[in-house]
């Protein structure tokens, strides 16, 4: 079989444009065929990147290395699925790939097996549709090593059927039970091993029953060879069954108290032998909740659930029972609290066991209890899944069986597991060969014998009557006396000597005899268990069970019988296969261990299956399907072939230039021998398909565009007609309305100065609105802008004035609200300055923009005043003119709270008390001219002739200095602005003058009349 539609566009990258010459007229048939086959060679190289999706198409199909190389390529590209015909090979990626979504399920529903890339959903869907079409039963065999992904594959198939099957309330209920049976079985039957954290420790066969429309209506589960020895013993790095840890870690406090358990796995002997009770990848608490929910959905009664967990707890308590030797060496029980939780009665049964025999009997009882409880659990699940409708149902079986494995030391359970795999491999080869031979005979194609290894000799070595290993084991176990492994081994070597497939290793031989008899319980065990009040235990140890002293069948014989029954079940169904492969031992994503994978490929029989599938011809298809797919490649068969399908295929292959030894024509199918022949045909079809699609698209687009254009043109004409009429009517209405409005506007304009009336009211409203709109867009930006207010019309004068005042107040308030405290204080001082000098002194406007400061001299000058007098409130450099001679002296003027100081380099030259300044007389305390000079005179009031007279000072910051003086001295009316000359006292009784006049250049000098002239 072969994947056809999954050939990607990447494979066509190397194909040249000359491929299409196949369809050009004028070339001979031979030239066209040679060109196709030559150009197809280039496209085959692209397949080397990701490998082939079907191993049947391998050229070197007998080469194990080529097989592994193809598997490795696909694994490294995250392509974990590959076909061998209808067999699916799955490699565990050990990471999430995002290929199991609902969208992926929808893609694979109703699609032929080889139309899409290999996937577990493709196999599940084809099994389902084949079952519906042919109304027969099928099974899917999932096998592989522990950790290869068998359990996950089984889950994915169940999830696919849960989504794809028809849905009703009843079917949804069955679907939920089928899905939730998995976590229950995993909890009780799976455990952590060295190779897998969720390893199935039992074989499981599940039948899913479908009605005539494909709805899931029931199910049935068979279990095989539960590894009961794990209950009492685990190797280092392994755990007991999950349910023990889930109960201890996740159980409710009340439940644990009722069962006498502690939330500590380290307290229980059966849980700590592997020394890994905690595993990072396992969340026992979450899994416990899942199991409890599953038991509720599956409709386990509360009493059954309690009895079930009581049994699990009793096994843990039983493992903690200890024995001590009495004086005779017999085992006796100590008075541990475990006995209280195991039995409420004080009855005593005496049996002369040594401590070793007592421990063995205890473990045998624990294994028997757990094993029978597991069987009861499976039966309860079957009752829950049972279909009540007696009408005929079709079935899909899922066989999740343990994988063939070879260890340095192989246990009895591993022997049974490998025997099971050999038996299934024998069935697998038989069914595959049978189906191949039947198809060849049906089509009239000569069958070519296929060389393969027939493992019947291995199966006979194990199961042959009276001679096989199982027969020898039974004989040794059932003979009188104590059976030992050494006597069993000697008998095997005696009977199997010379067999080409049998060797022994004494140093690694395990306790086969004890494990084969492991289920055998003494009559005392049975009697004690039958007295239990636990409902499940009563069912597991019924009183109807015979107490015959004859030994029952051994585990090996029971397993052989169950395997025969399983084989009969599978032989009655159509087979499908999933082979799971583990790429490495470390569970590492992206790691591919060639040696490990090669080993699995061998024991899974994949090469044998490939050789059977490739026997003679790699590909076969019905004539109708082959012709329907490839007829575009030949002008005679495209677009429609008039004759029979067989004749059309014959014409097609002749046109393509197939050689006689490359194909055979059967009764209903064509058989193609070599994969490269098919690849070339498929690649040519891919090119042809795109060209045909382009032509069809061009024709169809032209047809659609033309029709669309005609409809648009007709619609445009209709719309234009209607629109023109509508537009003309609207235009007429608009003009009539405009005439009325213009008349009213003109009349309103003519009567605008008259009182408001009907004629001018609307016009006046328009005037108001227009003025307000224009005013909104031209409002003043600042408070000082007094000239940009829009001139109002006569009717709006009063309103305009009110708006202007309101807006001015709004601007002022907004400005004030945005001022800082410092800015406000500065403006208050400036306001005082304005009241003193505005309009009175020429250079005042130049000072408005300059901010005032607290000091204009260095701090060390003020320090002396601070140290000896008071804290300075203002300081400024000045020039002092002597009273006699008017010689300039550079000084610093400093104000404190009570006086003004004239300082020279931190030396106080003169102190003027503010109360000495003249006031309420002429001249006042300070005199300045009305010109733009910087002179001011401090008039000091004094009667003492020895006192100094008035101070004549020049200051660059005269407005700041005088304003600060008014504030500090609290004398706002002490400044006199004078025109012309200022008289001052040189000393009491002696007067001087300072004359001021305007000039082009600034000059300060002593005039001839003895006055100080300031120009």
CA 306, CA 308: separation in Å to the nearest integer? 5
Catalytic, 773? Answer no
Among 70, 82, 90, 146, the active-site one is: 146
Catalytic, 214? Answer no
pLDDT in tens, 69-103: 999 999 998 899 999 888 899 999 999 888 999 99
Q: Can you give the C-alpha Rg of the chain in angstroms?
A: 56
17 or 132, higher pLDDT? 132
CB 830 within 8 A of CB 799: no
561 or 30, higher pLDDT? 561
Catalytic, 532? Answer no
Using the predicted structure, report yes or no on whether residue 1002 has a pLDDT greater than 70.
Answer: yes
- The predicted structure's pLDDT at residue 947: 72
Averaged pLDDT for residues 399-427: 74
Using the predicted structure, report yes or no on whether residue 714 has a pLDDT greater than 90.
Answer: yes
Among 51, 85, 147, 251, the active-site one is: 147
pLDDT band at 11 (very low <50, low <70, confident <90, very high): very low
- The predicted structure's pLDDT at residue 661: 76
Catalytic, 200? Answer yes
pLDDT band at 280 (very low <50, low <70, confident <90, very high): confident
Catalytic, 78? Answer no
Averaged pLDDT for residues 728-755: 90
Using the predicted structure, report yes or no on whether residue 415 has a pLDDT greater than 50.
Answer: yes
Bridge partners (DSSP) listed for residue 994: 982, 1012
Burial 57-93 (b: 16+ CB within 10 A, else e): bbeebeeeeebebbbbbbbeeebbbbbbbbbbbbbbb
Q: What is the DSSP string of 541-602?
A: S-TTS---SS----HHHHHHHHHHHHHHHHHTSEEEEEEEE---TT--TT---HHHHHHHHH
Using the predicted structure, report yes or no on whether residue 743 has a pLDDT greater than 50.
Answer: yes
DSSP 928: E
pLDDT band at 5 (very low <50, low <70, confident <90, very high): very low
Q: Of 477-491, 615-629, 714-728, 919-933, which range is least confident?
A: 477-491
- What does DSSP say about strands 1004-1006 and 1012-1014: parallel, antiparallel, or unpaired? antiparallel
Among 82, 164, 182, 199, the active-site one is: 199
CB 417 within 8 A of CB 405: yes
Using the predicted structure, report yes or no on whether residue 419 has a pLDDT greater than 70.
Answer: yes
CA 579, CA 195: separation in Å to the nearest integer? 17
CB 951 within 8 A of CB 938: yes
Bridge partners (DSSP) listed for residue 878: 891
Using the predicted structure, report yes or no on whether residue 713 has a pLDDT greater than 90.
Answer: yes
Averaged pLDDT for residues 927-946: 84
Using the predicted structure, report yes or no on whether residue 516 has a pLDDT greater than 60.
Answer: no
Q: From residue 601, give the alpha-carbon distance in Å to each of 464, 613, 629.
A: 27, 16, 34
Q: Of 510-519, 701-710, 956-965, 1003-1012, which range is least confident?
A: 510-519
- The predicted structure's pLDDT at residue 24: 35
pLDDT band at 787 (very low <50, low <70, confident <90, very high): confident
Among 152, 306, 405, 662, the active-site one is: 405
List binding-site positions.
144-151
Using the predicted structure, report yes or no on whether residue 288 has a pLDDT greater than 90.
Answer: yes
pLDDT in tens, 847-878: 888 888 888 887 665 555 555 456 788 899 99
* Sign for the pseudo-dihedral over CA of 10, 16, 19, 24: positive
CB 579 within 8 A of CB 604: yes
Averaged pLDDT for residues 796-815: 90
Q: How far is C-alpha 624 from the geometric centre of its chain's CA atoms?
A: 46
pLDDT in tens, 426-485: 777 777 777 777 777 777 777 666 666 667 777 777 777 777 777 777 776 766 556 666
CA 901, CA 717: separation in Å to the nearest integer? 101
pLDDT band at 47 (very low <50, low <70, confident <90, very high): low
Q: Of 218-227, 611-620, 635-644, 825-834, which range is least confident?
A: 611-620
524 or 398, higher pLDDT? 398
Element of type H or E holding 580 = strand 574-581
pLDDT band at 121 (very low <50, low <70, confident <90, very high): very high
3 or 122, higher pLDDT? 122
pTM strictly above 0.85: no
375 or 555, higher pLDDT? 375
pLDDT in tens, 347-382: 555 667 788 788 888 888 888 899 899 999 999 998
Please state, rounded to an integer, the average pLDDT across all residues of the chain: 80
Please name the residues in contact with 310: beta carbons below 8 A apart, sequence gap of 6 or more. Answer: 259, 534
CATH topology of domain 825-1014: PH-domain like (2.30.29)
- The predicted structure's pLDDT at residue 198: 84
Apex 567 CA angle, 563 and 573, nearest 5: 150
Apex 931 CA angle, 930 and 936, nearest 5: 70
Averaged pLDDT for residues 532-555: 70
Q: Where are the domains of the chain?
A: 761-817, 825-1014
Among 70, 86, 90, 200, the active-site one is: 200
Among 90, 196, 800, 934, the active-site one is: 196
Q: Of 278-292, 867-881, 917-931, which range is least confident?
A: 917-931
DSSP 909: E
Catalytic, 147? Answer yes
Averaged pLDDT for residues 695-708: 91
Using the predicted structure, report yes or no on whether residue 26 has a pLDDT greater than 60.
Answer: no
- The predicted structure's pLDDT at residue 37: 38
- The predicted structure's pLDDT at residue 349: 54
pLDDT in tens, 250-274: 999 999 998 889 999 998 999 998 8
Using the predicted structure, report yes or no on whether residue 560 has a pLDDT greater than 60.
Answer: yes
Among 403, 605, 748, 949, the active-site one is: 403
- The predicted structure's pLDDT at residue 373: 92
Using the predicted structure, report yes or no on whether residue 920 has a pLDDT greater than 60.
Answer: no
List binding-site positions for ATP.
144-151
N-terminal to C-terminal alpha carbon distance within the chain: 121
Averaged pLDDT for residues 337-353: 64
Among 86, 151, 240, 373, the active-site one is: 151
Within 10 A of 1006 (CB to CB), how many other CB atoms are there?
13
- Return the closest-CA partner of residue 19 out of 682, 949, 943: 682
Using the predicted structure, report yes or no on whether residue 302 has a pLDDT greater than 70.
Answer: yes
Catalytic, 320? Answer no
pLDDT band at 38 (very low <50, low <70, confident <90, very high): very low
What percentage of residues in the chain have a pLDDT greater than 70? Answer: 84
CA 830, CA 851: separation in Å to the nearest integer? 8
pLDDT band at 492 (very low <50, low <70, confident <90, very high): confident
pLDDT band at 46 (very low <50, low <70, confident <90, very high): very low
Most confident range, picked from 26-30, 756-760, 916-920: 756-760
Catalytic, 822? Answer no
- Return the closest-CA partner of residue 288 out of 320, 261, 318, 319: 261
Using the predicted structure, report yes or no on whether residue 761 has a pLDDT greater than 90.
Answer: no
- Return the closest-CA partner of residue 29 out of 656, 688, 651: 656
């Amino acid at each position: 079989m072969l994947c056809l539609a999954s050939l990607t566009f990447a494979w066509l990258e190397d194909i040249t444009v000359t491929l299409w010459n196949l369809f050009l007229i004028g070339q001979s048939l031979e030239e066209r065929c040679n060109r196709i086959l030559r150009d197809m060679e280039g496209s085959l190289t692209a397949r080397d990147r990701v490998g082939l999706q079907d191993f049947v198409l391998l050229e070197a199909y007998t080469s194990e290395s080529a097989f592994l190389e193809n598997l490795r390529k696909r694994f490294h590209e995250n392509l974990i699925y590959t076909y061998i015909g209808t067999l699916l090979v799955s490699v565990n990626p050990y990471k999430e790939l995002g290929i199991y979504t609902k969208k992926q399920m929808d893609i694979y529903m109703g699609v032929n097996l080889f139309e899409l890339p290999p996937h577990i959903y493709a196999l599940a869907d084809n099994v389902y549709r084949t079952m519906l079409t042919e109304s027969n039963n099928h099974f899917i065999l999932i096998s592989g090593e522990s950790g290869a992904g068998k359990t996950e594959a089984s889950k994915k198939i169940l999830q696919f059927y849960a989504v794809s099957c028809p849905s009703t309330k009843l079917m949804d209920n069955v679907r939920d039970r089928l899905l939730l049976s998995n976590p229950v079985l995993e909890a009780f039957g799976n455990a952590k091993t060295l190779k897998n954290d969720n390893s199935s420790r039992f074989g499981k066969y599940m039948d899913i029953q479908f009605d005539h429309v494909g709805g899931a209506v029931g199910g049935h589960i068979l279990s095989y060879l539960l590894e009961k020895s794990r209950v009492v013993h685990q190797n280092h790095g392994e755990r007991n069954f999950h349910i023990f840890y889930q109960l201890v870690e996740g159980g409710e406090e009340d439940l644990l108290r009722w069962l006498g358990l502690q939330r500590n796995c380290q307290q229980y002997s059966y849980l700590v032998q592997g020394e890994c009770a905690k595993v990072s990848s396992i969340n026992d608490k979450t899994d416990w909740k899942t199991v409890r929910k599953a038991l509720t959905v599956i409709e386990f009664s509360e009493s059954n659930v309690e009895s079930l967990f009581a049994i699990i707890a009793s096994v843990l308590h039983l493992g903690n029972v200890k024995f001590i030797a009495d004086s005779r060496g017999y085992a006796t029980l100590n008075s541990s609290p475990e006995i209280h939780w195991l039995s409420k009665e004080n009855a005593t049964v005496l049996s002369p066991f040594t401590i070793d025999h007592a421990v063995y009997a205890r473990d045998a009882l624990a294994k028997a209890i757990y094993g029978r409880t597991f069987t009861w659990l499976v039966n309860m699940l079957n009752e829950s899944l049972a279909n009540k409708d007696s009408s005929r149902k079709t079935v899909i079986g899922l066989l999740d069986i343990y994988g063939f494995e070879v260890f340095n030391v192989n246990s009895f359970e591993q022997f049974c597991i490998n025997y099971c795999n050999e038996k299934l491999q024998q069935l697998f080869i038989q069914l595959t060969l049978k189906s191949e031979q039947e198809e060849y005979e049906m089509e009239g194609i000569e069958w070519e014998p296929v060389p393969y290894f027939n493992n019947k000799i291995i199966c006979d070595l194990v199961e042959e009557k009276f001679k096989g290993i199982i027969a020898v084991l039974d004989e040794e176990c059932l003979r009188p006396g104590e059976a030992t492994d050494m006597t069993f081994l000697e008998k095997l070597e005696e009977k199997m000597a010379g067999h080409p497939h049998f060797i022994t290793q004494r140093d690694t031989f395990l306790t086969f005899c004890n494990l084969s008899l492991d289920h055998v319980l003494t009559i005392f065990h049975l009697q004690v268990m039958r007295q239990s009040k636990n409902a499940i235990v009563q069912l597991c140890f019924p009183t109807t069970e015979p107490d015959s002293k004859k030994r029952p069948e051994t585990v090996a014989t029971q397993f052989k019988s169950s395997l025969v029954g399983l084989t009969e079940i599978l032989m009655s169904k159509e087979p499908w296969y999933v082979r799971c492969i583990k790429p490495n031992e470390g569970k590492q994503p992206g790691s591919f261990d060639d040696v490990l994978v090669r080993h699995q490929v061998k024991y899974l029989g994949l090469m044998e299956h490939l050789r059977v599938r490739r026997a003679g011809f790699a590909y076969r298809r019905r004539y109708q399907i082959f012709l329907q797919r490839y007829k575009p490649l030949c002008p005679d068969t495209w677009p429609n072939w008039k004759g029979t399908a067989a004749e059309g295929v014959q014409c097609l292959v002749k046109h393509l230039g197939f050689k006689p030894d490359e194909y055979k024509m059967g009764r209903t199918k064509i058989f193609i021998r070599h994969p490269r022949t098919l690849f070339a045909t498929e690649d040519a079809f891919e090119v042809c398909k795109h060209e045909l699609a382009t032509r069809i698209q061009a024709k169809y687009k032209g047809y659609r565009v033309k029709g669309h254009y005609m409809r648009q043109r007709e619609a445009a004409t209709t719309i234009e007609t209607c629109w023109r009429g509508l537009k003309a009517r609207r235009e007429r209405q608009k003009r009539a309305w405009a005439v009325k409005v213009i008349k009213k506007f003109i009349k309103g304009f003519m009567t605008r100065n008259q009182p408001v009336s009907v004629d001018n009211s609307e016009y006046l409203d328009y005037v108001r609105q227009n003025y307000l709109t224009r005013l909104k867009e031209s409002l003043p930006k600042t408070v000082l802008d007094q000239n940009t207010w829009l001139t109002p019309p006569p009717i709006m004068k009063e309103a305009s004035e009110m708006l202007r005042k309101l807006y001015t107040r709004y601007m002022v308030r907004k400005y004030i609200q945005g001022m800082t405290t410092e800015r406000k204080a500065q403006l208050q001082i400036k306001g005082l300055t304005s009241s003193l000098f505005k309009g009175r002194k020429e250079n005042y406007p130049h000072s408005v923009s300059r901010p005032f400061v607290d000091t204009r001299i260095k701090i060390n000058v003020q320090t002396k005043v601070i140290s000896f007098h008071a804290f300075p409130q203002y300081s400024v450099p000045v020039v002092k003119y002597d009273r006699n001679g008017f010689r300039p002296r550079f000084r610093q003027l400093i104000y404190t709270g009570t006086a003004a100081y004239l300082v020279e380099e931190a030396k106080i030259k003169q102190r003027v008390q503010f109360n000495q300044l003249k006031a309420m007389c002429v001249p006042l305390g300070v005199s300045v001219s009305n010109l733009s000079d910087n002179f001011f005179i401090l008039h000091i009031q004094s009667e003492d002739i020895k006192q100094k007279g008035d101070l004549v000072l020049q200051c660059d910051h005269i407005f700041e200095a005088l304003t600060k003086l008014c504030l500090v001295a609290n004398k706002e009316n002490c400044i006199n602005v004078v025109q012309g000359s200022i008289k001052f006292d040189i000393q009491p009784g002696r007067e001087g003058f300072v004359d001021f006049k305007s000039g082009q250049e600034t000059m300060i000098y002593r005039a001839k009349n003895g006055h100080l002239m300031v120009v």
